[in-house]
Chains A and B, each alone.
Chain A
């Protein structure tokens, strides 16, 4: 028995006449230098803008005018952050990004909750209670996900105007619910379809109906997919620009729109440090979601990538 083991591990080490020697470890082989070298260079390219944003936002304007954008701040100041948050000007008013931040919160929270609620019930109906014709609607929904938003924007403006909610937060929440529906419905339908069908059958034999099965059987089993959907929606809705600018009025503009107005406003002297602080503030929410959620985010974008 031991002979055969020796034979198996021998060839690599045999030339050294050391049959039981460990496999040589070469941490710095040429292959590894290439491999990690490339990865580190790539990582630097991806990290550079984040670094530039941070250092710029911590410098004073005089230092920016003198130094280069990559050098760390000689003197750290948080003034740009304070200004970006509370007193930067958009051309309309000068109360900073805080207004946009709270608008975005008031848009993102209800949009995320309502879109997930609607889509999860839709997906559940499609997976477990399919009725005649359901697939036709679902196909239209999925194909619709590929239609450029620009094609559907104006009819929605008309519908919302007729309903008297054009320009309001309610209208924007409805728009986010509509455009979140294809990907979320697909996500939930696939998830519920992958649950064992026999569970659903057992619950029906037990006499549970549509809503009872949804609330008492399906929901408790689907927490991960709800988290994935939340990550997808929070980042997607927070980052939205087009719907914000089309469907809201200046006083309820979301943060992204306000940020763009602050940075690209043509009046006054450009304050790059304030701009970068404002940019970081706007990116902070999705970045925090991203860093906290880790692997679930990857799952979410793999599923949500169709959204494009």
Chain B
């Protein structure tokens, strides 16, 4: 038996070769684009690149200039306001709608189709529609004034102080359907017996939601939160379409700052520094979540 020709352990590299060949696009994307590209941008954010990237390192110059720029400060403030309000409103509205949808209602499919269709539309379309509806000459403001309330003023897109709320209305219209869908899936995932037990115990419905169901849905809420949050950081097309950053610089956002400096102002270094700041923002959101979601599981 041992005299037989030994087929030895084959070469490591050649085992599973088809699988490795098939995974080349994934490996290239992961290493060259995601890892390499990100590293490259972060490294070049410390240079004074203008029209073309040049490896002329100037330390934190670009970041100092960035945080001195009024436009960047406005962008960050807008992102903070837009982000915080989007989180709160889309979670509250999304959950209320999901809870209503979960009452064994009739026409559930019709309602879901209505609540979700804006999500199929692009931010460009969303921005343009709401630009039209909020147009003070013809839109909501003029309609209300025509009804007799002539002093009524609602012109967010032309008022620097409240323009970001105009963007918020459009953003919520586009995105709450998704939140509702995710939370509804979460509600449906809860054991029917929980509801039966609460009913037998005579607990009112709102208390059941508040003290039993919502705490049970923690993981769903966290996932939804992360999804909303990572979408907020990327917000760009909506602003471009709805306000072009105006009036003035009142509705600028970081993603637009990056694009404008990279491709319009020919100041790559600023663009790289601003995009690195976006990366840091995302990391602040993602790292604690990833730690809770995956780090915790390993300890068990």
Contacts and interface: CB of A to CB of B under 8 A. Distances in A.
- The reply to whether A and B meet directly (CB within 8 Å) is yes
A129 B133 contact: no
Interface string A94-115: 0000000000000000000000
Interface residues of A, number: 89
A264 interface: yes
Interface stretch (B3-11, B67-75, B139-147, B156-164): B139-147
Interface in B16-70: 16, 18-20, 22-23, 25-27, 29-38, 40-42, 53
B120 A150 contact: no
A147 B34 contact: yes
Interface of A: 35-36, 38-39, 42-43, 45-50, 52-53, 56, 64-65, 68-70, 118, 121-122, 124-126, 129-132, 134, 137-138, 140-141, 143-144, 146-156, 158-159, 177-178, 181, 185, 209-211, 235, 238-242, 245-246, 256, 259-260, 263-264, 272, 275-276, 279, 282-283, 286-287, 289-291, 294, 297-298, 301-302, 305-306, 308
Contacts of B37: 151-152, 155-156
Given A69-B143, A279-B129, A287-B120, A149 B26 contact: no
A64 B138 CA distance: 8
B124 A155 contact: no
Contacts of B263: 246
B218 interface: no
A245 B256 CA distance: 12
Count chain A CB atoms within 10 A of each CB in B237, B255, B272, B279 and give the residue with the most.
B237
Interface string B202-236: 00000000000000000000000001001101101
A155 B41 contact: yes
B168 interface: no
Contact of A308 (B116, B118, B227): B227
Given A35-B103, A146-B286, A297-B120, A69 B125 contact: no
Contacts of A137: 23, 26-27, 30-31
Interface in B271-298: 271-272, 274-276, 278-279, 282, 286, 290
B130 to A, nearest CB: 7
B244 interface: yes
A256 B114 contact: no
Given A39-B111, A290-B117, A308 B35 contact: no
B15 A290 contact: no
A259 to B, nearest CB: 6
A305 B178 contact: yes
Nearest to B110: A43
A209 B22 CA distance: 13
B128 A275 contact: yes
Count chain A CB atoms within 10 A of each CB in B122, B244, B274 and give the residue with the most: B122
A147 B279 CA distance: 6
28 contacts: A39-B101, A46-B115, A49-B130, A64-B138, A118-B26, A124-B22, A126-B23, A134-B19, A137-B27, A137-B30, A137-B31, A141-B34, A144-B38, A150-B234, A150-B262, A153-B262, A153-B275, A154-B40, A155-B41, A185-B26, A210-B19, A246-B263, A282-B124, A283-B122, A287-B120, A301-B119, A302-B185, A308-B234
